[in-house]
Structure 1
Amino acid sequence: METLETLSELLETTGDIQSIVRTMKSLSAVSIRQYEQAEKAIAGYEKTIDLGFSALLQDRRARGLPLPMTIDATSQAEVLIVVGSDRGLCGRYNEIVARFAEENLDDGTAVLAVIGARTAARLEAVGRNPDRLFLQPGSVAGLGSLVQSVIVEIERWTRGPGVGRVRLIYNRREGRSLAVPVERVLLPIPDTYLAGRVAAGWPGPGLPFFRMEPERLLSWLVRQRLFVVLYQALAEAFSSEHATRLAAMQSAERNIRERREDLNAAYRRKRQETITRELLDLVSGFEAVTGSPE
């Protein structure tokens, strides 16, 4: 049976939870904005890398060379990188990306890498143990370091023969959907992109002059494009995660508000019942004391 003390404690606990939910809402809203700004900031550097590819590929065409190979694509083995989350309270975010990754895993997947411990746990639950686990950065400031760590591992995986493709799977927002799983090929760089850079030409009257050996320049440009693509994808993924968490917290806040209203109503009823009972006890006692003897 609920007492005034019990209802009071429940109201206090619900108020504390409501404060936590409001704080998480604020943090998610701020984080979404930060990751969106980070994604926009890298766009300028992306244009620089595109111009670098244009200059190199125009030079190769002038020398009668074909489009370069950015990875040994003769092998059918591949690396699959899945981007998830280390933290919960984000709805079905990890479930969505883990299920999509599971559907895209096959016997040709030589290496499975996962960013986010919760997604890794979901894949382990279905018998897909990650070969490499990366932890999610606590804020947008750690995004660059994470990207560099992933690139170092990609270079190690693809240095020798055996890996002919690197794919990335992550969630991003599309329209009103907060977490839509998408796949992106990191390596080899698509021929459509390379052909597009050749067709784009050079914006100035003449091609720039470069001193670096073409093969070394190509290797550097591939690495920088990997950085840009990974940075953009991770910014999209983490923005999607916080958007999903924000929606979950908004739903939780509505439920908590309704719960507090119910508890307040129950508290008022119980308090009125207690006051009424005490008044009746007083009246009965008074009548018992002042009543005339028979």
Structure 2
Amino acid sequence: MSNSMADLRRKIGTAEDLQSVVRTMKAIAASSVEQYERSVLALQDYYQAIELGLSACFQKEGIATPLHSTTTTGKPKVISAIVFGSDQGLVGQFNDVITDFAVEKLSDVAGELKVWAVGERVHGRLADSGLLLHGLFPVPNSVKGIAALVGQMQIESISDQLDHESTSVFVFHNRPQTGSLYEPVSQRLLPLDSQWKQRLTELQWPTHSRAEILGGHLVTLQSLIHEYLFITLYRACAESLASENASRLAAMQRADKNIDELLETLHTQFHRQRQGSIDEELFDVVSGFDALSS
């Protein structure tokens, strides 16, 4: 009996230590979700401002635009994909969801396929799926690290492809939803063709007074395009990090609930065995007293 109670004490202590770690990770994930969600919300206004600036440039007559044609050049088409995942575990189905989504979308593409993975976990899953991996980027640990990551991605995976009409670049990531949920999404980053220009040209200006372009129109347009590519990747990374921490928070909440249920079961078993031990000792005392009295 004493060995069983000692074993239960050990299990209870281990479960309580594990619960302390889980609750610490849950608090960290909740704090991270908040900062990344604030970052995503702040990016919405800036992203809209960049698109409106491009729209103003395209609606200005006489401005030459460095766009690619949509005609076939005869060269083998190169399809590049950037897939955002995680470096760390305890995120539930986060990496599996985005991997399955990217593999499904890229399975129908024709041409040479190059894939860059952001995160070691998603890198391994993409490799297992049979995709040709061209590079691996680390996942930033904070909002401040996103800009450095995006700059590195622009240098290694995008800068050499801006001048090639036969190149398309797609971005895959998880986008946060309400209630600690997320959904996989994709976006075409390149080429900057007439279809992309037409979409921006048709944007409605939010006020009655349209903005005027000061200085060199081509210089302004090139700067806006650079900012457009940067902020698109930045927003995708921020949304992926917000989704990752939301998934980790949900996983830690489930783990905390399971540990609570386990502790309740262990405490019930411990008190039952302890009460049984007390009853046996009392029975022995009463039996001995009865034997001495008779």
Q: Distance in 2 between matches of 1:281 and 1:140?
A: 67
Alignment CA distance shift 1:51-1:126 (3 Å): closer
**Whole-Å separation in 2 of the counterparts to 1:170 and 1:207:** 35
Quick check: 2:172–2:185 contact (8 Å CA) kept in 1?
A: yes
2:79 and 2:169 in contact (8 A); partners too: yes
Determine the C-alpha separation between the residues in 2 that align with 1:210 and 1:56. Answer: 12
Tell me by how many angstroms 1:196 deviates: 4.4
Pick the aligned partner of 2:214 from 209, 212, 219: 209
| 1:178 aligns to 2:176 (yes or no) | no
**Residue pair 2:114, 2:132 contacting (<8 A) in 1 also:** no
Q: Which moved more, 1:81-90 or 1:273-282?
A: 273-282
CA distance in 2 between partners of 1:178 and 1:109 (Å): 34
| SS in structure 1 at match of 2:140 | coil
Question: CA 1:34–1:70 in 2, change beyond 3 Å: closer, same or farther?
Answer: farther
* CA displacement 1:85-142 (0-9 Å, x = unmatched): 1111111111111111222234524321000110111112233252100111112221
Give the TM-score taking structure 1 as reference length.
Answer: 0.84
Q: Gaps spanning 5+ residues in structure 2: where?
A: none
When normalised by structure 2's length, the TM-score is: 0.84
Contact 1:72 1:164 in 2 (8 A): no
Give the equivalent residue in structure 2 for 1:96: 97
Quick one: which of 137, 158, 170 aligns to 2:161?
158
Go from structure 1 to structure 2 and tell me whether the alpha carbon gap of 1:81 and 1:200 turns closer, same or farther (over 3 Å shift): closer
Q: Which range moves more in the overlay, 158-167 or 107-116?
A: 158-167
Give me the whole-angstrom Cα distance separating, in 1, the residues matched to 2:204 and 2:106: 38
- The Cα shift of 1:224 comes to 1.0
Quickly say closer, same or farther: Cα 1:82–1:285, change in 2 above 3 A.
Answer: same
CA distance in 2, matches of 1:31, 1:165: 33
The residue identity in structure 2 corresponding to 1:208 is: I
| Cα distance change, pair 93–239 in 1 and its aligned pair in 2 (3 A) | same
Distance 1:205 1:285, change over 3 A: closer
Q: Which digits, 9 at most, give the CA deviation of each residue in 1:181-227, with x for residues without a partner?
A: 11100112364552344345876467322137x2x544332221011
**Would you say the 8 A contact 1:72–1:161 is kept in 2?**
no
CA contact (8 A) 2:22 2:252 kept: yes
Q: CA offsets, 1:254-289, max 9 Å, x none?
A: 11111000000011011122223334445556677x
C-alpha change, 1:78 and 1:72, in structure 2 (3 Å) is: farther
- Looking at structure 2, the residues matched to 12 and 190 of structure 1 have their Cα atoms a distance apart, in angstroms, of 62
Partner of 1:62: 62
In structure 1, runs of 5+ residues without a counterpart are none
Distance 2:210 2:21 in 1: 59
1:117 lines up with 2:115 in the alignment: no
Aligned length: 286
Question: Residues 98 and 15 of structure 1: is their aligned pair in 2 closer, same or farther, counting only changes over 3 Å?
Answer: same
* Aligned CA distance change for structure 1 residues 201 and 62 (closer, same or farther; 3 Å): farther
Looking at structure 2, the residues matched to 126 and 42 of structure 1 have their Cα atoms a distance apart, in angstroms, of 33
